Structure 1
Amino acid sequence: MEDSATHIDKLVRRNARLKSLIQKYKQSHHLQHALLQLSEQASTVAELTLLYPAIHDILQSFIPSKSFYVVLHNPVNDLLELSYFADEKDGLSVPLKYDQHFKEGLTGHVFKHGKTSYFTKEQTQQAVEKGQFKALGTPAEHWVGVPVYRDKTIIGVMVAQSYDKAQSYSEQQIELLEVMSLYLATAIERVKKRELLESEVKIRTRALTQSNQALNEEILHRKKALERQQILFKISELATLSENLEDVYQHVHKIIKTITYADNLYIALYDQQSHWLSFPYCVDEYSDNAEPRPFAKGYSELVLSTEKCQVIDAKRAKSLIKLGVIERPRDIPPEESATSWLGAPLKTSQGVIGLIVCQAYNNKHEFSQDDCELITFVSHQIANVIQAHLANQELKQSHQKLEHRVAEKTKELRQANMHLQMQMEERKKIEQQLYHDAHHDSLTSLPNRSLFLTQLEKTLQHYQRYPEQQFAVLFIDLDKFKDINDQLGHQAGDQFLISVAESFSHCIREHDLLARLGGDEFVVLLTHLTEPQQAEDVAKRIIEIMKKPFCMKGQCIQSGASIGITYSKTSYKHTDEIIRDADAAMYYAKNAGRNRFECFHPLLNATTSQHEAENMHHLDDLPMHFRSSEIITLDESAHAESLLEAFGEHPVLGSTSFEVLKKFATDRIQHFEVELSLLKQAFSLAAQTKLQKVLFPCSGLVLERINFKALCHLLKAHDAKKICLLFNEQEIRYASAVQIENLKSLVAQGFSIGLNEFAKDRCELNLLTEFKFDYLLLSSTFSKRVLQQENYHLQLQGVLAITHIQNIQVIAKGPSIFNYRTLLDKHGLSLFIGKQHALAPFNKETTSTHSTIPLDLNI
């Protein structure tokens, strides 16, 4: 009996547990389903006004939320503004009435405390009476408000309320609201970005339409020019292909028909000696035979006397007749009188020899000024052709005159052909120049934004097919360009840009692309990269070139270049993303002190508060800690040395070595004070270890005249035999005379020094003999190149030969993999940087020579 009761009790407990799990899974399913719906809406809706109703519909499927609204914080006026409102009792006018007072009500209470709040009607009334907030609008039986966060900043409040006393909110329903609020900020941001993208697409479409219109006009203009050119070719051919004048006239008639209405056409020749007009060619629907006549007051005579093209319609004909300029025969039937008449003189080098006329009857066509220009354009060429054939006829009558005039006219025709050929070549050059001007900057002759974006799009498409072929984009902004314009004038600014463009072109390879985006912004597209270091090498060459001051009119201004670098990534789908990231890295380089380069990091696009931006480069505000790296041999056994490095928690870059952070310091005094404090802490840590030597990286700043005395005082106050000061090879290479003298002074005083990041960009062996170094740390870049290229192996052998003579210990950096160290061991290296061990945080307040942190670096 007892066993049965015990069994039943177990079943009851198991049943209760199953019900609890079912409820839990049901709640999880509701949460997952709601989030999926929210994500789908955020990906599909086109604007925020559609997103909020969609969220409201999702919520109503799971909780009582007929009354639902969302308020967002406006940082400009520090108010809570209504973004969406739906209520069973209050109309839209009610919340708008209290729009300026949201912060004083229950919504403001949630926004102020940043926590989810649930109030019944009685609890709301009690809180109002206690003065916690004010009552706004119709009181609800059940009210729940959930804060909306973006990152760690509250940006608004999402509220659901019920006027039905029986419809309360359970913990699961409140949890659903909280989960929805977590994704609301992300959904809003996605929709905003989509709205912005659609706006940019509209703007670019409008610009493209305008560009197409201009291009169509240019095409039409060129088409007309080409047609005229073809007409000239056809006319010039008449001089050589036609054997008699009748053929010439017929071909001329065909050509004129391609230009304008020419169903009725005649050609008249004028004899200046006899003052008679003859009509060798006439095609007319009323009369095909025109008899010669003396010079009178007709339309043809008006063209000959004025030597200009004339367009005569019925109205002008009456005016000319009234003025007495024209006299018309009275016996011409009205239907045989031209309603529109067009005549152009045939001019040659010897004067006007006649005219060519087109006329229309019964208003079949109305000649315009455009027709006049076209026929004038070809009439000069036609005149030359006719004149040439007339000359040939006269030359047949006289043999001597024939030879002379044939030679003369042949020469003229050759000149005409040469002129036409020159025109063709000139037009080709003009077309090429137009294309060049449309895709290049007028000042520097570099490719412009349009050509660069076109090439970048091709490069991105090629990379998407062949991801192994890497590329990089460098966004360059010139420093102090405004100072050059203001102090030296805009003409000097233009000369500066031209000089910079020429200098930059010497820093890149032949197949790379340098372009000017506008103003003082340049961009470089590097293709066929084998390693990221190549892009950094280009940036360094550009920064080195910009160190030379720009001088004009006796004044010199030191400029510089802030460079942002982004590398090819499979996540890039559009060129805008590449330009955006390179631009973000450039602005970070500019904010970090200018005249430097920075590579893009995803965190550079993260939202940074104003306070964080202002303090981003204050080293003394950054939390710091130490990491120790063992110096090991090939068999993983620990050596008697260890590398001690400081790291800081940067607001953008995250956990970053002090070697990187100190490049961003804008205050040199602050930089030195922080570095001196780090060195004090390093002495304290080294004193607690069993190691013979702790290698600690230092900057060249400690070697400057104003700082060196404090450095020596610190070294003498501690056991300096356990510390080796590592100096960056690039800093020593460009060190001043004072810094070099102080570095040699350290060796003379018996302090240990070493060379860090050796041969990162070039291998200068003279540095190894100029100073007495105890340690040499090869850069990981050089170690990698030794394994890939034979010539770097030869350089390494030279390094090892000198270090052996100088008694310098060589340590390699690189991946912590056995195969890597084995390969380098074959080249003569036996010491490597081992694993890193995180140590206790750096105490900035510690100034004593003895650390209280219990550490043992010999882990």
Structure 2
Amino acid sequence: MEDKPNVPSKLAHQNKKLKALLEKYKQSHHLQSALIQLSEQASTVAELTLLYPAIHDILQKYVPSKSFYVVLSNSYNNSLELSYFSDEKDGIAVALNQSNSFDEGATGYVFKQGKTAYFTKKQMQQAAENGLFKALGTPAEHWVGVPVYQEKNIIGVLAAQSYDTQQGYSSGQIQLLEVMSLYLATAIERVKKRELLESEVKIRTRALTQSNDALNIEVEQRKRALQRQQILFKISELATQAKNLDDAYVQIHQIIKTITYADNLYIALYNKESGWIDFPYYADEFRDVAKPRRFAKGYSELVISTEQTQLIHPCRAKELLKSGVVQRSAPVPLEQKATSWLGAPLKTSQGVIGLIVCQAYNNKHIFSQDDCELITFVSHQIAAVLQTKLANQAIEKSHQELEFRVSEKTKELQQANLHLQMQIDERKKIEQQLYHDAHHDSLTGLPNRSLFLTQLEKTLQHYQRFPDHHFAVLFIDLDKFKNINDQLGHQAGDQFLISVGDLFAHCIREHDLLARLGGDEFVILLTHLTEPQQAEDVANRIIDIMKKPFCSKGTCIQSGASIGVTFSQPQYIHTDEIIRDADAAMYYAKNSGRDRYELFHPLLTQSIPTQESQTLHHLDLLPMHFRSSEIITLNEQFQSESLFEAFGEHPVLGCTSFDILKKFATDKDQHVQVELELLQQAYSQALSANVAMALVPCSSNLLEQLEFIVFTDVLNKQQGLSQLCLLFDEQEIRHASATQIENLKKLPQLGFSIGLNNFAKDRCELNLLTDINFDYLLLSSTFSKRVLQQDSVDLQLQGVLAITKLKNMKVIAKGPSILNFRALLDKHGLAFFVGKQHTLTHAQGISAVSQSQLS
């Protein structure tokens, strides 16, 4: 009884110790968190100007530091300089004006002492009165300064101040500032090194860019030098290979033709002593020869007198005639007047000995400044050759020495040219290969979608400019291609696509374009057409050539082609409209019996009057019927049940999957209206077929609140709802809204049977099976195949079967109609199976079914 009064005191003592430990743990946690954040900032921040604000943000989480600044020492002038400043009362201008006075204030005091200092307002004033330092700026209620060390040397001061009398600094907060200061120097050094590295990278990048530009300029100069050297080489050969002057003139003409337009060319020689101009070579479309004449005021005389290359067009010709620089002795017929005239002097060391002239009539060619430069260069070489032929033996000997030096230089340039040409040829080959790979299918070698659309765009633009140049697009889908992959394997399927590409290529002309879009889809672009019948002829040839069965490893399968054809129309603006119409026509052909072609069906784009658009969907313009799979009675356990998977079919669009309905429905209401009509038709057919259960696919749109009310109201009016199971796709349910999920769960409560379709196509989510009471579960064909290939997937299947057994769900597998495939699924516990023809069977007892029945 005497110990009882001591119990509260012991508890109080223990409570005090716990609070102290908690405060110590809290302080350690804050310190660790601040250091981690500081390290992250030092690793990511690119500039010092960004590092200080980041440190300030970290400190404000743990320390009263709205007013915070960092001062670092400048080793060059031994003064403290401001690196970062943020203050509630003093603006940045105040701090910068006092930057040279930090040595005299409290900051300089901390720097000199090398120790942390904490002052209240009163203590700060007292220290200033005692002469320890000067009071600078607006007096703060609380001020703390912490020295920043780099190794053993102090490099600056980190300071925080508070203008609130109630907001001071605890020992833990001061300790946090001291620890932060220890890591601040390291962080500053890391950021400085990163800044230096980035600066060096920029400088290096700039240097490399300038080097590349210089290299490009050098290559361009080398090309020009190479072109001129080639010309020089030809002219140098002329000096030794020409038999006589007439042969030399002919060869000069051929050389000039390789560098510019020279159908009309003449060479004139000028004798300064006699004052006559002679025309030893003259090739012109109007005159065969030109008579010698005295030096007068013609174009040729202008070149000789100025000793410069002259480029004369009609405008300049008029100016020369008007100014009197050029005079004509007789009128020249209009058709014989040169519309572009280019003359270059033949200059030697002894002066101008003549000129070489190229001229064009009727604007066949317009000479440019580049032509001037080339003809000037050539004229100098030609002048040297002609001078050699006309000069004496001494001059000829000198010319031979020059020719030898030129030949040696030519060989050096030829070697450089050969190396450069090899590099150019190799690069061209690589570029051509890259372009081919980017625009052709890797399997068949045919043009791919990108190249086809590019060519179709050009063809459409050409047709818009020239409406008489018609074209057509054939969209081809191979029939029964899946059978070849399933029964013969994907390797045989690839070989089939290659052979089909070769067959199609023999059905079109050389200028037509055949491309593979992907999978078993091909397209053909026919150009230069005059009537649609030409496109139909190509389609007929393709259909006929596809009648030959494809055989591999002793097994033959009959394929075929469904072709949609669209002919050029003025209303086509974009290429996607053409592809869309050809695709729609192909669907029409495929759903009209396959192995045929159809021209684009105009009803697909038929407009509906505005007053009828709210009550009539454009899909209703075409008749619609409903197709179901074959109904098979199951084994003894389900003798009273017959199930089939039902789906709508449109004569143009084919199987009415909900993706296609969304594509062609103008709005959501029309989509729901068409889907409800399909459900009613499916129910009617199941009722007339007297089956136990009809599995009918539905979209998640029917689970929206308003649509759900209409949907359930329509079905409640039917008789015998137990014969109808509503199938919802797993991917849609996985992304359904909360309202849709809630309405889905209501369906079993309202007496409807529901099922989950394409389960585990990409992943296996068991929570869907546990949360919602489904009656049927249709496994995707992808999951069924993985069960036979991967042990981990088989374990997933066993989990699915365990859940479905507890919840009394019927599990149905999907896959190709192959006997061994279905037998293997039976070994894994799957009792029901639906093949690619939508035929539902029981896996047990398959050995008693013949192969003909399965096919």
Shorter-chain TM-score range: 0.3 to 0.5
When normalised by structure 1's length, the TM-score is 0.41
When normalised by structure 2's length, the TM-score is 0.41
Larger radius of gyration: 2
